[in-house]
C-alpha cells in the first residue's frame, strides 16, 4: 500500500553538518537483554500495567494527524501502520562545533498485530499504544502529562519536577531517574530495570545521539524527540500529536492543540489592533559583561507575535540560537537604553550590574520589568516554564500580551510571566 504523508517537512542540511541515521539493533544485542536485567527489577506492578493498557486500548490508535507547525517530525500513514520520522541538527552546547543532522524512523503498529504488508522492514517497530513510558527532559514530561497519562510514567529525568504529583512519585522511589538530557546520556540500567514500553529521549546533545544506538542494541524501545529544535511555541506544542501517536491519545492531542492554536490566533488578532508597538527587550545578564538576548529563537518569535518591537531580533530560517545571542554591555546601552519594557528575569541570570548602570535603561527606571518564573519551585530547582508551559502556547502569548499592552486583555491573569522585583533582583 502506498503511504500518504500527514506532513513532509524535509530536513534542511547545512553545508557544515554531518548526517547520521540511527542504527538498528542487532539480534544478538536484543537477546542479551535477558541477561542484563536483574530478576528482582522494580518494574511496574501487573495492576498498573493492566490498568494503563485498558485505558490505552480504549483510545484511538493509528489516527493520522495533520501537522501544521512542527518541522522536526513527520508522519506517513499506511494501511494498518504509521511511519514517524524525526530529525534535528545536534551540536554540543556553546562549543562552536559543527552540527550533525540526526534522523530516525520508526513504524507504529497496533499492539499484537505484527508488521503489516507494505510497511517498511528496515525501521524500528513500536507497538502502540504504550502502556508505560519514560522521558529524559522537562518539555517531554510536560507534553505527555498534558495528555492525561502521568499514571503510565515509570521514569523521568530526575527530581527537579514542577508537577507535584509526579515529583512525589520520584521522591518515593516509584519513578526511576534516568538523568536529564543536557547533563549525561540516559542511565540504561534504570531503563532496563523499569522496562518502559517506550522511552522518549530528547536528542539535544551528542551524548544522547550515541545513547540512542546503544539503547536499541540492548533491546530498549526508543523514540527520539526534537521538541527543543522547533522555532516557536506553536511548533513545540504540536509535539503533543507525536506523543499522542505512541500513547493512544491522538484525539486528545489534536483537540488540545486545536483549541490552543485557536486561542493563540485570537490573541494575535487583538494584538494587531494595537496602534503603537512598544520596544521590548528580552534578555538576561550572564556575568562578566555578557548578556544573552533573544534574537532568533522561540522567545524572539513570541515577542513578535505579542506585537512588540525587539531591537535585537534577527528572525530568519537559519539555525535557532536557543539560549540567545551573546552581546556586551556597551552594545546593550547603545541599542537598548530607550526600550519601553524588558523581560529581564531568567533562571540562568547572574547578579545584575550596579544600580547606576541599570538606571541607564528606561525600562528599569520606569519599573516595567518582567520574568518567566512565576510558576517555579526554587527549593527543588523546578520551573514550569520548561515543563508544563510547552503544552500551553496560548497562555504564554496571552500572558505577554497582557503585560506589554495594558488594557488589551483586562480579564487575563498571567500564569507563567510575572513582574520582576528590582530590589530583590528576581
CATH number at 278 reads: 3.40.50.1980
Phi-psi domain of 335 (left: phi exceeds 0; alpha: psi -120 through 50; beta: other): alpha
Positions of the chain with pLDDT under 50: 1-2, 4, 7-44, 48-49, 52-53, 55-59
Could you tell me if 68 and 204 lie in one domain?
yes
Which residue shows C-alpha cell 498485530?
Answer: 113
Could you tell me if 249 and 279 lie in one domain?
no
> Final residue of a domain: which of 263, 286, 318?
263
Does a structural domain hold residue 424?
no
Could you tell me if 37 and 101 lie in one domain?
yes
Number of structural domains the chain divides into: 2
- 10 Cβ contact partners less than 8 Å away, ≥ 6 residues apart: none
SS3 176: strand
Give which of 223, 211, 194, 237 is closest to 396, Cα–Cα: 237
Could you tell me if 97 and 179 lie in one domain?
yes
Could you tell me if 224 and 286 lie in one domain?
no
Could you tell me if 104 and 206 lie in one domain?
yes
Does a structural domain hold residue 381?
yes
Tell me what pLDDT residue 362 has: 98
Tell me what pLDDT residue 61 has: 74
Does a structural domain hold residue 396?
yes
Give which of 241, 225, 234 is closest to 62, Cα–Cα: 241
Q: Where are the beta strands (DSSP E) in 12-146?
A: 18-21, 73-77, 82-90, 100-110, 124-128, 133-135
Residue 269: CA atoms inside 13 Å, Cβ hemisphere, count? 6
Structural domain span for residue 397 = 274-419
Cα dihedral value 141, 146, 147, 153, nearest 10: 30
Tell me what pLDDT residue 73 has: 98
Q: How far apart are CA 216 and CA 262, in angstroms?
A: 39
> Final residue of a domain: which of 263, 283, 316?
263
Could you tell me if 315 and 219 lie in one domain?
no
Does a structural domain hold residue 77?
yes
Number of residues in the chain: 426
Tell me what pLDDT residue 22 has: 46
Could you tell me if 51 and 134 lie in one domain?
yes
Which residue shows C-alpha cell 519594557?
Answer: 341
DSSP-derived pairing of the beta strands 198-202 and 376-377: unpaired
Tell me what pLDDT residue 15 has: 27
Could you tell me if 242 and 354 lie in one domain?
no
Could you tell me if 364 and 235 lie in one domain?
no
Could you tell me if 205 and 82 lie in one domain?
yes
SS3 133: strand
Is the full-model pTM beyond 0.85? yes
Tell me: the pLDDT tens digits for 393-408?
A: 999 999 999 999 999 9
C-alpha cell at 20: 547520521
Does a structural domain hold residue 425?
no
Does a structural domain hold residue 269?
no
Tell me what pLDDT residue 425 has: 85
Could you tell me if 244 and 134 lie in one domain?
yes
Q: Where are the beta strands (DSSP E) in 273-320?
A: 280-287, 290-293
Give which of 144, 158, 189, 149 is closest to 42, Cα–Cα: 189
Does a structural domain hold residue 129?
yes
Q: How far apart are CA 73 and CA 105, in angstroms?
A: 10
Does a structural domain hold residue 426?
no
C-alpha cell at 174: 516509584
> Final residue of a domain: which of 233, 263, 293?
263
Which own/partner pairs from 348-355 qualify as long-range (CB within 8 Å, at least 24 positions apart)?
Answer: 348/284, 348/286, 348/292, 348/323, 349/284, 349/285, 349/286, 350/285, 350/286, 350/287, 351/285, 351/287, 351/425, 352/285, 352/425, 353/285, 353/329
Amino acid at each position: 500500500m502506498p503511504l500518504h504523508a500527514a506532513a513532509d517537512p524535509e530536513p534542511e542540511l547545512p553545508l557544515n553538518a554531518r548526517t547520521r541515521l540511527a542504527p538498528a539493533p542487532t539480534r544478538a544485542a536484543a537477546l542479551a537483554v535477558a541477561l542484563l536485567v536483574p530478576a528482582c527489577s522494580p518494574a511496574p506492578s501487573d495492576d498498573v500495567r493492566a490498568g494503563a493498557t485498558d485505558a490505552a486500548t480504549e483510545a484511538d490508535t493509528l489516527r493520522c494527524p495533520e501537522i501544521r507547525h512542527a518541522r522536526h517530525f513527520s508522519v506517513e500513514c499506511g494501511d494498518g501502520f504509521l511511519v514517524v520520522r524525526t530529525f534535528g541538527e545536534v551540536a554540543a552546547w556553546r562549543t562552536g562545533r559543527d552540527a550533525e543532522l540526526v534522523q530516525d524512523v520508526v513504524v507504529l503498529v497496533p499492539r499484537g498485530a505484527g508488521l503489516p504488508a507494505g510497511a517498511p522492514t528496515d525501521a524500528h517497530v513500536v507497538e502502540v499504544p504504550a502502556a508505560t513510558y519514560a522521558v529524559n527532559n522537562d518539555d517531554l514530561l510536560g507534553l505527555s502529562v498534558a495528555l492525561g497519562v502521568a499514571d503510565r510514567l515509570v521514569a523521568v529525568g530526575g527530581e527537579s519536577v514542577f508537577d507535584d504529583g509526579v515529583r512525589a512519585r520520584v521522591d518515593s522511589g516509584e519513578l526511576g531517574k534516568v538523568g536529564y538530557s543536557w547533563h549525561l546520556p540516559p542511565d540504561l540500567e534504570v531503563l532496563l530495570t523499569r522496562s518502559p514500553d517506550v522511552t522518549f529521549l530528547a536528542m539535544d546533545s551528542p551524548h544522547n545521539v550515541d545513547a540512542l544506538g546503544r539503547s536499541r542494541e540492548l533491546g530498549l524501545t526508543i523514540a527520539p524527540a526534537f521538541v527543543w529544535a522547533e522555532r516557536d511555541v506553536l511548533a513545540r506544542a504540536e509535539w503533543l500529536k507525536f506523543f499522542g501517536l505512541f500513547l493512544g491519545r491522538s484525539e486528545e492531542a489534536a483537540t488540545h492543540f486545536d483549541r490552543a492554536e485557536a486561542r493563540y490566533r485570537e490573541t494575535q488578532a487583538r494584538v494587531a489592533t494595537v496602534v503603537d508597538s512598544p520596544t521590548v527587550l528580552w534578555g538576561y545578564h550572564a556575568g562578566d559583561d555578557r548578556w544573552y538576548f533573544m534574537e532568533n529563537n522561540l522567545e524572539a518569535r513570541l515577542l513578535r507575535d505579542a506585537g512588540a518591537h525587539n531591537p535585537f531580533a534577527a528572525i530568519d530560517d537559519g539555525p535557532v540560537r536557543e539560549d540567545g545571542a551573546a552581546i556586551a554591555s556597551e552594545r546593550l546601552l547603545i541599542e537598548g537604553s530607550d526600550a519601553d519594557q524588558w523581560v529581564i528575569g531568567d533562571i540562568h541570570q547572574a547578579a545584575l550590574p550596579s544600580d547606576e548602570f541599570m538606571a541607564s535603561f528606561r525600562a528599569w527606571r520606569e519599573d516595567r520589568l518582567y520574568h518567566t518564573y512565576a510558576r517555579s519551585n526554587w527549593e527543588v530547582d523546578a520551573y514550569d516554564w520548561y515543563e508544563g508551559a510547552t503544552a500551553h502556547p496560548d497562555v504564554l502569548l496571552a500572558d505577554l500580551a497582557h503585560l506589554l499592552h495594558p488594557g488589551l486583555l483586562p480579564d487575563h491573569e498571567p500564569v507563567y510571566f510575572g513582574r520582576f522585583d528590582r530590589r530583590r533582583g528576581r
